[in-house]
Amino acid sequence: MSIFTLITVFLLTTLGAGQNAQQSISSEATHYPNVIRAELPLYPPLTSTLRISGTVKIEVTVEKGAVVEAQVKSTEIKFSDPKKDALYDSQAKKTMASRFLSDPSLANLKTWQFRPEDRATFLVTYVYEIEGEETALPENPKVELDLPRLAKVIARPFKPTCSDCGAQNHGGTGSSTATVDPKDGSLSIQVPVVASAIPKP
């Protein structure tokens, strides 16, 4: 065997060992704890009405089975209506609109519970999409989960209408009522539905 062959074999062996070590380090860095409980994420109603879709990436720290820190790393929003996109032309307005997705994502993430021995920091991606034919009434969204990495919520677009609004809802004559059940002390509140129109841009 020549010296050139020995050097080549040595370099290939060293590079292979280095890649294996790097792969084991990166797999340890992306340890995902096991989720034992999580509330389903929902499509935020206002965001769905405005037909805003997007992606929210959140860095999460879990200790002793609970979320102890969650920080939004990035938010991308898209408007399906070009007129609404023009309304949010400045960065400040886009940052404000992005909170329509990031705030509910953070709230949902804080409901997640993990195994008590789990401790990790990792990235979670929430994806919100508007797909399908427009409906007259809002429908339950489709939720796809690959926890704890991904939560995807897909809603159908709907056109808000006021066809069933009566004059009683516009006159302010309805009143809220609250009753307490004497048996178990639970509180029941009834609030009349008041229709409101969404202003057009």
Question: What would the pLDDT profile of 40-89 be if each residue is shown by its tens digit?
Answer: 999 998 888 888 899 999 999 999 999 999 999 999 998 877 666 666 66
pLDDT given for residue 14 in this prediction: 45
What is the per-residue pLDDT for 21? Answer: 41
21 to 8, 11, 110: CA distances (angstroms): 20, 15, 34
In a domain, 27, yes or no: no
Q: Would you give the DSSP letter of residue 50? A: T
**The total number of structural domains that make up the chain:** 1
* pLDDT of res. 61: 96
Residue pair 58/109 in contact by the 8 Å Cβ criterion: yes
Average pLDDT value for residue range 168-179: 44
68 in a domain, yes or no?
A: yes
| 148: preceding bond cis by omega (within 30 degrees) | yes
Would you say residue 174 has pLDDT above 90?
no
Within-domain flag for 87: yes
**21-39 per-position pLDDT tens digit:** 444 334 455 789 999 999 9
Residue 63's domain spans which residues?
35-155
Q: Is residue 163 in a domain?
A: no
Mean pLDDT of 11-17: 45
Distance between CA atoms of 140 and 19, rounded to whole angstroms?
46
Q: Which position has the higher pLDDT, 126 or 118?
A: 126
Nearest CA among 47, 81, 94, 46 for reference residue 201: 81
CB 156 within 8 A of CB 129: no
pTM beyond 0.85: the answer is no
pLDDT bracket for residue 124 (50, 70, 90): very high
- CATH code for the domain of 135: 3.30.2420.10
Q: How confident is the model at residue 169 (pLDDT cuts 50, 70, 90)?
A: very low
Residue 175 lies in a domain: no
Question: Is position 55 within any domain?
Answer: yes
Backbone angles phi, psi at 94, to 5 degrees: -70, -35
Q: Is residue 174 part of a domain?
A: no
Residue 90 lies in a domain: yes
